[in-house]
């Protein structure tokens, strides 16, 4: 354990139960996110990536293992963290400003204080002039930026992002990747980012964890040594290509073929 770690997951096992049926999801997952670090979890669909975020936020208690935020054990205890699921989940009957202010209002800030804070950040999120628009009046990219603004309103220093650009078209997705790096560079939150896009993981991350198909195990941990700030020209470099090939190879590892550091659970 290091004082520079914002988030630590240790020896996480998770199983879903439905009646008498059991579905092992995560098998001995250990990872960490340093303070101000951008870390991605890359893996195939159904490998347990979203489950990792639910466990990291305290919304789901693992079958085994523990979760620490700022060295405090929060396993299975819901925390005030910036958690953004795959869908934007904006309330259709609330304006952009009202949606973004919800975390501050939940923390008992006054409406005036909450709305002022939101208005201050709208330009940084490319939403200046849209505070009184409703979600149906916004494009997909604007809705995602609004959802991320709402996530940023939670002053926890940790953001858990679950494929936030997965439903967008390719051009919008690439634009928002650059924008996210700009926002992250400005606010320096610790980020745990889930994706199934190899290029996206390399482009955004300081480190990448690759997990196998279910039950998910860590197949690879890789530091990305691409200089920051980054631009899309980096994807044409030989270093980017070498990272991509390494990740492609690691994603082809089957869970059954990768024993990992087995951990004997107590009954």
For the segment 240-246, the average pLDDT, to the nearest whole number, is: 95
For the segment 212-226, the average pLDDT, to the nearest whole number, is: 94
HSE-CB of 106 using CA atoms within 13 angstroms: 13
For the segment 149-165, the average pLDDT, to the nearest whole number, is: 87
Determine contact, residues 208/49, Cβ cutoff 8 Å.
Answer: no
- Give the pLDDT confidence score for residue 2 in this predicted structure: 60
**pLDDT single digits (tens) 58-104:** 999 999 999 999 999 999 988 778 888 877 789 999 999 999 999 88
**pLDDT single digits (tens) 4-55:** 899 999 999 999 887 788 889 999 999 999 999 999 999 988 889 999 999 9
**Distance (Å, whole) CA 126 – CA 143:** 11
- Give the pLDDT confidence score for residue 187 in this predicted structure: 85
- Is 3.40.50.300 the CATH number for 1-81+156-267? yes
Q: What is the domain partition of the chain in residue ranges?
A: 1-81+156-267, 88-155
**pLDDT single digits (tens) 170-204:** 888 888 899 889 889 888 899 999 998 999 999 99
Torsion sign, CA atoms 118, 124, 125, 127: positive
- Give the pLDDT confidence score for residue 256 in this predicted structure: 52
**Distance (Å, whole) CA 266 – CA 13:** 12
């Amino acid at each position: 354990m290091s004082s520079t770690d914002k988030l630590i997951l240790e020896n996480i096992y998770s199983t879903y139960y439905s009646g008498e049926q059991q579905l092992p999801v995560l098998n001995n997952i250990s990872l960490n996110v340093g303070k101000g670090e951008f870390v991605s979890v890359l893996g195939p669909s159904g490998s347990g990536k979203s489950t990792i975020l639910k466990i990291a936020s305290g919304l789901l208690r693992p079958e085994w293992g523990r979760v620490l935020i700022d060295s405090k054990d929060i396993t299975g205890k819901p925390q005030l963290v910036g958690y953004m699921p795959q869908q934007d989940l904006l309330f259709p009957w609330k304006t952009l400003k009202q949606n973004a202010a919800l975390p501050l209002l939940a923390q008992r800030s006054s409406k005036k204080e909450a709305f002022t804070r939101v208005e201050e950040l709208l330009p940084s999120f490319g939403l200046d002039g849209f505070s009184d628009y409703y979600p149906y009046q916004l494009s997909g990219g604007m809705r995602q930026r609004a959802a991320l603004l709402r996530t940023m309103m939670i002053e926890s220093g940790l953001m858990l992002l679950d494929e936030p650009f997965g439903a967008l078209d390719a051009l919008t997705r690439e634009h928002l990747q650059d924008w996210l790096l700009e926002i992250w560079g400005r606010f320096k939150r610790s980020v745990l980012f889930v994706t199934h896009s190899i290029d996206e993981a390399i482009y955004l991350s300081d480190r990448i964890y690759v997990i196998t198909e279910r039950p998910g195990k860590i197949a690879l941990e890789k530091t990305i040594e691409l200089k920051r700030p980054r631009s899309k020209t980096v994807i044409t470099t030989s270093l980017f290509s070498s990272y991509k090939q390494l990740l492609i190879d690691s994603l082809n590892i089957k869970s059954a073929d990768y024993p990992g550091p087995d951990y004997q659970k107590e009954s």
